[in-house]
Amino acid sequence: MSYGQGGPPSQWDPWKPQSQQPWSSGGGNGSGQAPDWAALADASETRHKRRRLLLIGGGAIATVAIGTAVAVAVVSANGSNQASDPSSQLPATADLPSATGTVPSFAPTSAPPPLDPKDFVSSAQKDRAPLGPDVLFPGTQLTMGDTVYKKGPTADTRNCASAAKGTLPKVLTDNGCSRLLRVTYTKDDIAVTVGVAVFDTEAQAAKAKQQADKKSIVKSLAGGGVKEFCDGAICRSTTNSYGRYAYFTLSGFTAAKDVTEKDTAVFSTGNDLAEFTFRQIRRRGEAQASAAANE
């Protein structure tokens, strides 16, 4: 087949309708020849590559377009260009609770002051717990540290002067002593008598302590297996007070010998019993204060 005189034949494109397939010219006898299959395959491959490139490029453009659309949507949802600013998510200042708003007010309260145990042993009006030698000095023995003292006889008198010697009877009477409790403890050949004088007020007890001198002595208390002591022999005495109580000690040997400064065992015995008496009076106040607080 010839193309006539109208110019070179149009290029054949298998993807375009109406295009004609070219045929290579061979001999000059004008007869039809077989197509060049290799050339056709190369041309087809070239067109396929071009189409794939167009498809890939179109996909990339579409992706960019979608990303742009999402960014525009985010910006539009947040208003202005603050899509990535976390502070743009906070409520307006007017919506936040004011730091100067109304604060709940409460009536001022305070815990009651703790009760002072000493108040309960400073006057007869408050010191109402049972009282007696066996109340202040319970049991049959006393342990102070590593030392054990055996409890001896006890005594309780309303006539304070009758249980005192030297200048002490007058001191007790002048200041209104209403009761004198006594107890004796022993260890080996040492004995000590404790005398507790009871007054109505702390001021009376303090004045009695102040007026007492070296000759103000409580009478030693013997009996119940305890021999007479400090009856004519030199003994060691102490005086003190706490609350409405004035308390005295008299320490010496049951063998009727004098106490000297070298007899440290006698001194420590008197100190132990004076300390124990103070603790017992204070515990008395603590017990009454605790009971009053729980009422």
User: DSSP assignment of 201-236, as one string?
Assistant: BHHHHHHHHHH--TTEEEPP--BTTBPP-SSSS--E
User: DSSP assignment of 15-71, as one string?
Assistant: TSTTPPPP----STT-------HHHHHHHHHHHHHHHHHHHHHHHHHHHHHHHHHHH
Give pLDDT, residue 72: 42
Tens of pLDDT, residues 181-234 = 999 999 999 999 999 999 999 999 999 999 999 999 999 999 989 999 999 999
Task: Look over the chain and give the mean of its residue pLDDT values, rounded to a whole number.
Answer: 79
- Tokens representing 238 are 């102490």
Q: What percent of the chain has pLDDT over 90?
A: 59
- Tokens representing 30 are 């004008």
Closest C-alpha to 209, from 238, 175, 157, 246: 246
Closest C-alpha to 214, from 270, 275, 167, 161: 167
Tens of pLDDT, residues 26-57 = 444 444 455 565 666 666 666 666 655 555 55
Closest C-alpha to 182, from 162, 158, 156: 156
Give pLDDT, residue 48: 60
* Cα 282 to chain centroid, rounded: 29
Tens of pLDDT, residues 91-109 = 555 555 555 555 555 566 6
User: DSSP assignment of 92-118, as one string?
Assistant: PGGGSPPTTSPPP------PPPPPPGG
Closest C-alpha to 191, from 250, 275, 139, 278: 250
pTM here? 0.63
Give pLDDT, residue 103: 57
165 contacts 217 by C-beta, under 8 angstroms? yes
**What is the spatial distance between Cα 293 and Cα 295, in angstroms, rounded to a whole number?**
6
Whether the per-residue pLDDT at 294 is higher than 80: the answer is yes
Whether the per-residue pLDDT at 113 is higher than 80: the answer is no
